[in-house]
Amino acid sequence: MTPQQIETYVDAAAAALDLPLAPEHRSGVLRYFALAADMAALTEAVDLAPHDESALRFEPVVPGAQA
């Protein structure tokens, strides 16, 4: 996302949530949102196959055991 897109999104989200954003907090919110957007882009860049889907339940395995 571009800095302008981030500002637009943050402003729209704050307005939609009726969340006042203090001027002294704005730069920090924009910086954090940019960081979160970068992390999301990295995650979305990973191709996943059907076998990569999360399990319905967690089953621990012994370290080093063949899956």
| Cα dihedral 61, 63, 65, 67 sign | positive
- The pLDDT of residue 7 is 96
Instruction: State the DSSP code for 50.
Output: G
Residues of the chain where predicted confidence (pLDDT) is lower than 70: 55, 67
**Whole-angstrom Cα distance, residue 16 to residue 19?**
8
Q: Are 34 and 6 in contact (CB under 8 A)?
A: yes
Rounded CA-CA distance 58/42 in Å is: 25
Structural domain boundaries in the chain: 3-45
**CA–CA gap between residue 41 and residue 21 (Å, rounded):** 25
